[in-house]
Amino acid sequence: MTNTEIVDRLELTGRLMELHDHDAFKIRAFSSAAFSLDKSTADLASLPVEELVKLPGVGKSVAQKIRELVETGHLTELDNLLAETPEGVLEMFRIKGLGAKKIRTLWRELGIDNLRDLQLAGENGQIAKIKGFGASTQEKILNSLTFLQEQKGKIRMDRAAMLANVLHDELTRAFNRVDISGQVRRKAQEVDTIQLLLETSDPVGAQRYLNSLPMLTQNERESSPFAWRGHMEGSDVGIELLMFPADQIDRQLFIQTAAEPHLQQVGSASVSLLQAALTLSNVSEERIYERAGLPYIVPEMREDEFAFRWAGRHQNDELVTWDDLRGTLHNHSTWSDGKQSIADMAAYCRELGLTYFGIADHSKTASYANGLDIDRVQAQHREIDRLNAQFGDNFLIFKGIESDILGDGSLDYDDATLATFDYVVASVHQTLTMTLEKATTRLLRAIENPYTTILGHPTGRLLLARAGYPIDHRAVIDACAEHNVVIEINASPYRLDIDWRWIDYAMERGVMLSINPDAHDLAGLLDMHYGVAVGRKGGLTKAMTFNALTLTEMKAYLQNRKNQLLAG
């Protein structure tokens, strides 16, 4: 059992205890343990009670519960709570702004035990009449419900890629050729169908084999003789397995990867890409574009006509790749809410072949994330100086901060403190419910601050969980161009923010983009792969990728900004 699974079960136990109005001390014990253990790098499943109680936030009772969970796969207390809780009530925890107490009120006072009844109560104005709720809370609940309905049946690109690879590895045992296609190959940030192509001359036998796999459940109504459709164990995302003979696979890989608007593009040969793909005898993806009279487009960009407008100004070999990245600038350590030390994070960056590591722990207002007050900032800088003294000229740790953008758009420290950092990532973390005008004005003021180097995750969205606040993207990008501020592509698959659709406009305005993992542990550094994927999808070039600058170039860039501040 992984740490994440243990922490999730403890957190759920605490929530359900609060829902059922259990003893406050026990609720706090589970919640505090979950919060503390979420940052732990210890292998919780391997620790006995005597070692678990030495960890922050873990008492003997919770330690015994962890052992029960690891040894049996169950937690009796949690099982009992789940048995007492309708499934629809559990789903209410997905609604932003609804905690256990409010859910208990809705359940006990209005008898609401499912999302459909919750929506009806909101539409009828019943929620607003409950003490402690009001019209504003009711509106937020309805908006959250609408968002969740729109996201139903979708998964993030990281989970989609993982499931697609599991399927690929399983199916290659039985089929000569298996190709991942569709949304996963196109690097869609949200996926509703995982599609693979199978080479077979015996579709009946192939269907029989697929239905013999325990991990797959067929939807017979949606399937056909040449298409198996259904679901994979543990996920409600659609699975589509298309069967073709060997001479059709290359053709279909192109057709199934590209979105419909892309397939309908007509080139100088007066035929569409789809027509070219269907009529060529000796098929390759390059020849399909050549037959249509169009420039070749990489799989990530095969969405619509945008790729061809981009190709009129760029070449495919200009697109950023993982190998182009020279460093990483938005990362967290145990100084705030990260799981690894600065030294360990930097060492792993060196293993990855990177030449600089930027620490950007949370600022003082982010108390929930153990944000750094001024004294701790100074102490962290002394640690970084000690670590840098151990490196030669080929690696450097930069002193950064993720400074909260406060409600009025100001940053989270005075100018004297901000001046001590090599760079500042300015991000919004609190008060996320804003109008477009308020959110945009808040960001514009932060961008105008001369200490802002990078604008972090501009909309604050969490894919499939939170839509993010609305902003005027053009105004924000124009302001970044005016004030020489870099925009982050937050590479966490939970965010992928700024959205890839705005990358080209940023480049047009001369704004560089930084592929930032927002890493809280070693594995999080690898999230830059997802940032590269959506960067390429939006046409991001190496030349406009901030962290593709070499160490020498990055040092010079940051020093020049400091010099300009001093001169100003």
pLDDT tens for each residue of 110-153: 899 988 899 888 888 889 888 888 888 888 888 888 888 877 88
Phi and psi (nearest 5°) for 500? Answer: -60, -25
Query: What residues have CB less than 8 Å from 486, skipping those under 6 apart?
Result: 453, 454, 455, 480, 511, 512, 513, 514, 546
Closest Cα to residue 423, out of 283, 329, 321?
329
3-class secondary structure, 320: coil
Residue-level pLDDT at 2: 87
Provide the pLDDT confidence category of residue 1 given band limits of 50, 70 and 90.
confident
Torsion of CA 387, 390, 395, 397, to 10 degrees: 10
pLDDT band of residue 567 (cuts 50, 70, 90) is: confident
Lookup result for tokens 């104005």: 125
Q: What's the rounded mean pLDDT across residues 459-483?
A: 94
The sign one gets for the Cα dihedral 24, 25, 30, 31 is positive
- Beta strand ranges found along 40-156 (DSSP E): 155-156
Q: How many CA atoms lie within 13 A of 313 on its CB side?
A: 11
pLDDT surpasses 90 at 422: yes
Joined together, the tokens standing for residue 325 give 């990245």
Q: Please give the pLDDT value at position 153.
A: 87
Enumerate the H helices of 329-435 as residue ranges. 342-351, 374-388, 415-418
pLDDT, greater one: 235 or 361: 361
Q: What is the pLDDT of residue 151?
A: 77
Listed by start position, the domains of the chain span: 3-85, 161-314, 322-567
Q: Distance (Å, rounded) from C-alpha 459 to C-alpha 164?
A: 29
**Taking Cα atoms as reference points, which of 470, 536, 546, 537 lies closest to residue 511?**
546
161-314 shares the fold of 3-85: no
Average pLDDT of the chain to the nearest whole number = 94
Which of the pair, 94 or 403, is modelled with greater confidence? 403
Listed in sequence order, the residues at least 6 apart from 40 whose beta carbon sits closer than 8 Å to its beta carbon are 3, 55, 339
pLDDT at position 415? 95
Question: Residue 520 corresponds to which tokens in the numbers above?
Answer: 């809280």
What architecture is domain 161-314? 2-Layer Sandwich (3.30)
Statement: residue 34 has pLDDT above 80 = yes
Distance CA 475, CA 447 (A): 11
Please tell me the pTM assigned to this model: 0.87
Decide if pLDDT at 97 tops 80: no
Sign of CA dihedral 60, 61, 65, 68: positive
- How far is the CA of 191 from the CAs of 114, 152, 181, 464, in angstroms? 26, 11, 12, 10
Strand partners, 244: 199
Token pair for 403: 């400074």
Which pLDDT value is given to residue 307? 96
CATH topology of domain 322-567: TIM Barrel (3.20.20)
- The domain 3-85 is placed in CATH, from the list 3.40.50.1110, 1.10.150.110, 3.30.420.40, 1.20.1250.20, at 1.10.150.110
* Position 568 pLDDT exceeds 80: no
